Amino acid sequence: MIERWVDGVERVAVLTGAGVSTDSGIPDYRGPSGVWTLDPELVKAFTYQSFMADPEVRAAFWQTYHGHPAWSARPNAAHRALADLERSGVAVRVLTQNIDGLQQTAGSNPRKVLELHGTMREVVCTGCDRRTPSEPTMARVDAGDTDPRCVDCGAILKLAVVLFGEHLDPATAGLAERIAANAQLMIAVGTSLRVEPVASLCAVAVNAGHRLVIVNRDPTPYDDLAVEVIREPIGTALPRICAAVAEATRVAR
């Protein structure tokens, strides 16, 4: 029953993972048809040390995003439900592991969306730190450039995403912890909760005395901390949850 854990909720944090975007046609990473499930060797391309050391690894990385469905994907029911929840007046913050930008496209205020693992919509130079929109670099990749370099300093370019072996931005990580500690309800949806330190935001919320709800197809390491674990499809579960939170808040007012 949703009612027992939406009562009295005024502040909500939603931790979203790749499962939120699969209904938009974007493959996840660890699912049965996930990017790394189908090609385990590709994990190297998402590891910072390997990426920086090997041009062949960089070529594999850029090829992964050549024609990637995320470039043209549209928000789905889950993204729209979160945007609608914000518009209803509930204080909601989205802490997303996704890099596709679909939550903002769905209508969420960009200031209320914290992109924990960065964004594929920008490219960053590993030398001079210059950030630019992704389109020009991806056009170079599409034209056959397997290892694009910065036009200013000649250093290696990468998408502005956090690779394995890189630290989260300290300011972003600190803000995420504060949000988790202050949200009365934490909803973790479409995430395996196996990537730290982001997954530990669930423990931050629970240790602060708040409720954790997990919506995910597969078991996670944090299931035992949750007041409820929901296995139904995200595209139906999240709109239902968001509607219940909005209604409970409306009634409380």
Active centre residues (catalytic): 117
**CA–centroid distance for 190 within its chain:** 9
Cis peptide before 136 (omega within 30 of 0): no
> Beta strands of the chain (E only): which ranges?
11-16, 91-96, 113-115, 118-125, 131-133, 157-161, 185-189, 211-215, 228-230
In contact, 36 and 20? CB cutoff 8 Å: no
- Strands (DSSP E) found in 152-234: 157-161, 185-189, 211-215, 228-230
The whole-angstrom separation of Cα 202 and Cα 214 is 9
Residues ≥6 apart with Cβ < 8 Å to 20: 76, 78, 79, 96, 98, 189, 190, 234, 238
Distances (CA, A) of 65 to 34, 69, 81, 147, 180: 14, 8, 27, 13, 31
